[in-house]
Structure 1
Amino acid sequence: MAGRLRAPTGRYGGKTAAQRQAERRERFLDAALELFGGTPGYRATTVAALSEAAALSTRQFYEEFRSLEDVLAALHLKVNAWAEEAVLAAAADARGLPLTERAAAVFRAYAANVTADPRRVRIAFVEIIGVSPRLEEQRLARRARWVDLICAEARAAVSRGEAPPRDHRLAATAFIGSVNGLLHDFSAGWVDATLDEVVDELVRQLLGILRPPGRSPAGPGR
């Protein structure tokens, strides 16, 4: 890849070059979670500071990444992947539950994963904002993936007769915007509420999307 130094090859200390490279990359990402997600934040972190926090050299940094923006991009995807794994596991565990219980369990799994570490909240909802057109495109693409997941859950609820048929995409997009905005503001200290209260409000919004007031599900599940 242009802009990167060639990584060493061969086996050393019982590990292959690929294994050592993967370990270095993880050390940089762990350090980035600490610095980007805590103090001093992405914009005030330097390559030298990140390398020092990872106990690696700047030369090794440029073997793995072209820039700090690349690190933030990788970390943003990783935080979202952790949350998605939690959501999919919760959805599997909640299979067969009524819609209200299932939706609450799935979203609480998401919220618990993201908010378990304040650094994850900051990476997902604060530091990624306004960095560059490239990262904005990534953020919106990842948001669209969450919208797709909600729409798939809604279609499944409709097929079971638990929710009325309609196009859920607009409402799902609005909900994801609410999640991003509310968790961002909570993380920044702008919301006078506990985390549990924030999550409860978002669960109510999600259930309102799947089963809006005044609309009854059709089919055998009525």
Structure 2
Amino acid sequence: MVGRLKAPTGRYAGKSAEERQAERRRRFLDAALQLFGDTPGYRGTTVAALSDAAGLSTRQFYEEFRTLEDVLAALHLQVNDWAEEAVVAAFAAAQDLPLADRVTAIFRAYAGNVTADPRRIRITFVEIVGVSPRLEEQRLARRSRWIELICAEASEAAARGEAAPRDYRLAATAFIGSVNGLLHDWSAGWVDATLDEVVDELVRQLLGILRPPEWEPRDSCES
């Protein structure tokens, strides 16, 4: 398929061409979440199977996407966007709280979002891995956004005197790897703990990074 087929224009059944296109795209992504995130997985899904699950035709598929990899790429970004929106909202609500409470609120929001649907974890941590150089670049780019978020919070905490001032990029990179691995293993049933216990452990790890034993807080009354 050299390029996408031209989508129809004009209004139909009270919807504009743009509205119908958005609805088709949503239906394909909803079907992909089910097939890629459960059975048979991305590598076991065909264009015909995805189109059938979406209740659409293969012709309509090629009006929206070039390949199944394009669908996986779009779905991976969507799942990450959902988690990021949850974290940003939690951060805004907790920004005036002490560091430990802020970190807890952020991780509860993230963990709650990505584990609310096991299919999201599979898309983010399993199906996207090793598909192609393009998707590896996308996966690492989105991971980098989470690293930047941790670094920004660490810098803000250091400026408030709540954490040790230093370059946190390496530590944040290692920590995000721990987050992804622990949440994946928990979701797969390999970790005998509640989600709250998992979050509490992640919070302890991050606070240990931000507040090493040799560091003293600038204000002894600070939490």
1:190 to partner: Cα distance:
3.2
Q: Secondary structure of the equivalent of 2:39?
A: coil
Matched with 2:115 is 115
Matched with 1:3 is 3
Task: Report whether the alignment pairs 1:26 with 2:29.
Answer: no
Inter-partner Cα distance in structure 2 for 1:176 and 1:81 = 17
1:128-207 to 2 correspondence within 5 Å? Answer: 128-207=128-207
The residue identity in structure 2 corresponding to 1:135 is L
Give the conservation status (yes or no) of the 8 Å contact 2:100–2:203: no
* Change in 2 beyond 3 A, CA 1:129/1:155: same
Give the conservation status (yes or no) of the 8 Å contact 2:115–2:187: no
RMSD, matched Cα: 1.7
Matched with 1:74 is 74
Inter-partner Cα distance in structure 2 for 1:220 and 1:151 = 23
Residue identity (%): 79
Inter-partner Cα distance in structure 2 for 1:190 and 1:45 = 27
Give the conservation status (yes or no) of the 8 Å contact 1:32–1:72: yes
Give the conservation status (yes or no) of the 8 Å contact 1:165–1:217: no
Instruction: Tell me the TM-score normalised to structure 1 length.
Output: 0.94
Inter-partner Cα distance in structure 2 for 1:220 and 1:183 = 34
Inter-partner Cα distance in structure 2 for 1:188 and 1:74 = 24
Unaligned 5+ segments in structure 2 are none
The residue identity in structure 2 corresponding to 1:64 is E
Inter-partner Cα distance in structure 1 for 2:221 and 2:64 = 53
Inter-partner Cα distance in structure 1 for 2:211 and 2:2 = 51
Matched with 2:208 is 208
Inter-partner Cα distance in structure 1 for 2:132 and 2:185 = 21
1:198 to partner: Cα distance:
2.4
Q: Secondary structure of the equivalent of 1:163?
A: coil
Instruction: Tell me the TM-score normalised to structure 2 length.
Output: 0.94
The residue identity in structure 2 corresponding to 1:5 is L
Task: Report whether the alignment pairs 1:91 with 2:56.
Answer: no
The residue identity in structure 2 corresponding to 1:16 is S
Q: Secondary structure of the equivalent of 2:157?
A: helix
Q: Secondary structure of the equivalent of 2:48?
A: helix
Query: Which string of whole-angstrom CA distances, capped at 9 and with x for unpartnered residues, describes residues 140-195 of structure 1?
Result: 00000000011111111111111110111111000111112222233333334333
Inter-partner Cα distance in structure 1 for 2:59 and 2:107 = 42
1:220 to partner: Cα distance:
9.1
Give the conservation status (yes or no) of the 8 Å contact 1:158–1:164: yes
Inter-partner Cα distance in structure 2 for 1:191 and 1:219 = 37
Report the more deviating stretch, 75-84 or 198-207: 198-207
Unaligned 5+ segments in structure 1 are none
Query: Which string of whole-angstrom CA distances, capped at 9 and with x for unpartnered residues, describes residues 97-139 of structure 1?
Result: 0001111111110000100111111111111111111101000
Task: Report whether the alignment pairs 1:13 with 2:13.
Answer: yes
Give the conservation status (yes or no) of the 8 Å contact 1:33–1:119: yes
Report the more deviating stretch, 178-187 or 73-82: 178-187
Q: Secondary structure of the equivalent of 1:74?
A: helix
Inter-partner Cα distance in structure 1 for 2:193 and 2:45 = 31
Give the conservation status (yes or no) of the 8 Å contact 2:150–2:172: yes
Inter-partner Cα distance in structure 1 for 2:168 and 2:79 = 26
